[in-house]
Amino acid sequence: MLTKQRLEINNYTMTLIKSISGIRGTIGGSVSEGLSPVDVVKFTAAYATQIRKTTTINTNKIVVGRDARMSGAMVEKLVVGTLMGMGFDVVNIGLASTPTTELAVTMEGACGGIILTASHNPKQWNALKLLNEKGEFLNKEEGEEVLRLAENDAYTFADVDSLGKETQVDYTQKHIDAVLALKLVDVDAIKKANFEVALDCVNSVGGIILPKLLEQLGVKQTTVLFGEPTGDFQHNPEPLEKNLGDIMTLMSHGEHDVAFVVDPDVDRLAMICENGDMYGEEYTLVTVADYVLSHTPGNTVSNLSSTRALRDVTRMHGGSYQAAAVGEVNVVTKMKETGAVIGGEGNGGVIYPESHYGRDALVGIALFLSHLAHKKMKVSELRATYPPYFISKQRIDLTPDIDVDALLERVKEKFAGEEINDIDGVKIDFPTKWVHLRKSNTEPIIRIYSEASTRQEADALGQEIIDIIKSMI
């Protein structure tokens, strides 16, 4: 279930998206046209109502954390006040990464948590991401119930004698301590390696926690770009090559061993080699998994649109690889089903159950540096040890009258002789390459992801599928 509204105001598009994973939108506009204060209150109250019904925890606590977005302080006040008005005690951890907030829920023994972040979206956006008592995202059924409650204003505020209270706690060091305590994080090896590291923290909460993490890991020297948590992002906050010119230029001077780049809420991790080349965000999880599997053999999970390299590395270590539908909650569900020791998503999201079931760039950094210290090689050399795959991302824009589901069924029929996975769109596995077709939930678009051993072959496979679909219209 997902609804989306758009309104053009003064050449600025106001957007509000209500989905099972939370509510996100641009700040401003009228009610239900952008992320207005009224929408924040309604959705928070609906969430509180749902948590009250489903929690098995009796602490009456809900954790609230936020990234450094310019609207964050305003949204935080609305959320905290609403939760108190619903009778919950709020543990406000202030400026904090998404994984920090997830960990805080379980450390506090809270009933749930709300993360105020629009992840990699531009500064005009904010969002409420909703957690259960395990510090994990709500499942589909729970999310749908929150939407229903909000739509029907089906919530009741507490009387004056039952109002909640607010306490403020800084969880920065507690998160770092939890990372340092992981068995596979080898602080001694990292110290001996004398690493010189660069960071791009995109003017958000990474600038608060990551320099402290690296110092306590024993990194010799850290250079920070865009470390001030102003929320006024100095470049597009999605950690893709096209947005990372400054840090890539810095790395090209050859004075650092590796650069780490995060998004505003620090759940995604991208890396840059010592020579200024991108490591490839798809290979963040592959590399960390290689290290984990070399010490704790087992199974892995990623989503259908992630690189085949994880499957190859998993099989090399004697484990089994499974693909899940796109979305963190789907990956986590599959990891629990298969007992996976490591998993995540190809966008740089590392989920390590020894820590918690959530994407965590701090865990990714600590495990990567441990691996690099043991390997005693340059980052570019480490990257060259993994199977070379390239992913191409394309799309087909369709007219609203086209039946996208019927179109995807026809594609399935055409490739019936190949290995087909249809749990999330249509993925066609060929012996040495694959293509994944996913329809948009909000627009008449089919997104096409293809992977092969060369960029040209990946692009060509995607284009072949596009041509086939066009011939069917």
Taking only the tens place, the pLDDT of each residue in 438-462 is 987 767 889 999 999 999 999 999 9
- CATH class of residue range 176-383: alpha beta
Q: Where are the domains of the chain?
A: 2-170, 176-383, 390-472
CATH number of 390-472: 3.30.310.50
Q: Which stretch of 21-35, 88-102, 126-140 has the lowest confidence by average pLDDT?
A: 21-35
- Residue 400, pLDDT above cutoff 50: yes
Chain segment 156-167, per-residue pLDDT in tens: 999 999 999 999
Percent of the chain clearing pLDDT 70 (strictly above): 97
Kindly tell me if the per-residue pLDDT of 3 is higher than 60.
Answer: no
What's the mean pLDDT in 199-211? 98
Segment 49-99, tens digit of pLDDT: 999 999 999 999 999 999 999 999 999 999 999 999 999 999 999 999 999
Q: Does the pLDDT value for residue 234 go beyond 90?
A: yes
Instruction: Please state the rounded mean pLDDT for residues 324-352.
Output: 96
Res 11: pLDDT: 44
Q: What is the mean pLDDT of residues 253-277?
A: 97
Q: Which long-range contacts (CB under 8 A, 24 or more apart) does 162-165 make?
A: 162/87, 163/84, 163/85, 163/87, 164/60, 164/83, 164/84, 164/85, 164/86, 164/87, 164/88, 164/89, 164/90, 165/84, 165/89, 165/90
Query: Is 390-472 in the same CATH topology as 2-170?
Result: no
Tokens of 327: 């979305």
pLDDT value at position 9? Answer: 43
CA angle centred on 421, ends 416 and 422, rounded to 5°:
95
Select from 154, 139, 164 the least CA-distant residue to 88: 164
Q: What is the pLDDT of residue 14?
A: 72
pLDDT, average across residues 419-443 = 91
Q: Can you give the pLDDT at residue 10?
A: 42
Which tokens hold the place of 201?
A: 């923290």
Distance CA 214, CA 286 (A): 22
pLDDT band at 278 (very low <50, low <70, confident <90, very high): very high
Assign 2 a pLDDT band (cuts: 50, 70, 90): low
Mean pLDDT, the chain, as a whole number? 94
**CATH no. of 2-170:** 3.40.120.10
When pLDDT is cut at 50, 70 and 90, the band that residue 119 belongs to is very high
Give pLDDT, residue 442: 64
Q: Tell me the residue length of the chain.
A: 473
Residue 368, token pair as written in the block: 């990567």
Q: Enter the pTM of the model.
A: 0.94
